[in-house]
Structure 1
Amino acid sequence: MRCPYCGGDETQVKDSRPTEDNTAIRRRRVCSTCGGRFTTFERVQLRELTVVKRNGRRVVFDREKLARSVQIAVRKRPVDPEKIERMISGIVRQLESSGESEVQAEDIGTLVMEGLRGLDDVAYVRFASVYKNFREARDFEALLGELNADGTPVNGGPEPEADES
């Protein structure tokens, strides 16, 4: 494993342990050249996935890119990092076990939106605004209307009042 600090090839594993959900191995490493310490994760990859973008371009699926986009959506929100990691791992497992080697970018976006809706309403709206390319405030109003349609409060707001007739 190449050191991210100095680029040296001689690194040593100091500690290995499974992640909480047992989907990866976390390894603490130290560089023999500069002494830098860093962490790597080893995950099972069932198949090489290709993402078909909206414009038809094809790119190799990148789990880290998925994680970064989710992190942007949940930034400064009180969401447990373990729940985020479980959601991302679940999405990747779903994609890999679908049997398809190519997946549409829209399908990934839909899975992320479903996952975020269960984690945090604000993160869901943030992601949706980019994913669905919101242009005006009306777009946000429509999405918030969808969130309220099932009767649950948005963002921890007050419960709807019961009709006592």
Structure 2
Amino acid sequence: MKCPFCGHLETQVVETRVSEDADFIRRRRQCGSCEKRFTTYERADVTFPTIVKKDGRRIEYKRGKILDSMKLALRKRPVSVEQIDAAVEHIEEKLLSLGLREVASPHLGELVMHELKRLDKVAYIRFASVYRSFEDIDDFRVMVDEVNR
């Protein structure tokens, strides 16, 4: 593994941990040259379904897009990076368990909303306001009432 700091090709694994649900392995590594430490994650390489947008376009599933939209909704909220990673893992597990080659983007959006609702109610409403294109304050009231039930 190449060191991300100095580019040296020899690094040593100093700690290995399996995630709670055993879906990935977290490794702490140390560079043999600059001695800085960094973390790598090892997970199975699988093929995710193609995402079908509302306009009919088909795009490749990108973990980074899901992660970025969740981080934006969770900005300045008391949710750890580990919790966000676990939520994305849940979304990916559900996508894979569908066994489909294509998934409609609204279905993916609903999976994201489900995970956000579980993590943080404020982030859930933030995401929903954009995802569902709220037009006025009444749309917010309906969503807040739904969350408070």
After TM superposition, the score normalised by the length of structure 1 is 0.73
Partner of 1:77: 77
After TM superposition, the score normalised by the length of structure 2 is 0.80
**Aligned sequence identity (%):** 46
Structure 2 unaligned blocks of 5 or more: none
Provide Cα deviations, 1:85-143, integer angstroms capped at 9, x if missing partner.
43322211010121112222211110111222233221110111121233433332232
Structure 1 unaligned blocks of 5 or more: 153-165
CA contact (8 A) 1:24 1:43 kept: yes
- In the alignment, the residues of structure 2 paired with residue 55 and residue 32 of structure 1 have an alpha-carbon distance, to the nearest angstrom, of 50
Q: RMSD over aligned Cα, in angstroms?
A: 2.5
- Residues 54, 3 of structure 1: alpha-carbon distance in 2 compared, 3 angstrom cutoff: farther
CA contact (8 A) 1:74 1:123 kept: yes
CA contact (8 A) 1:46 1:97 kept: no
Which runs of structure 2 are paired with 1:127-142 in the superposition (5 Å)? 127-142=127-142
- Residues 60, 11 of structure 1: alpha-carbon distance in 2 compared, 3 angstrom cutoff: farther
Give the number of the structure whose alpha-carbon radius of gyration is greater.
1
Partner of 2:108: 108
CA contact (8 A) 2:29 2:39 kept: yes
- Residues 111, 48 of structure 1: alpha-carbon distance in 2 compared, 3 angstrom cutoff: closer
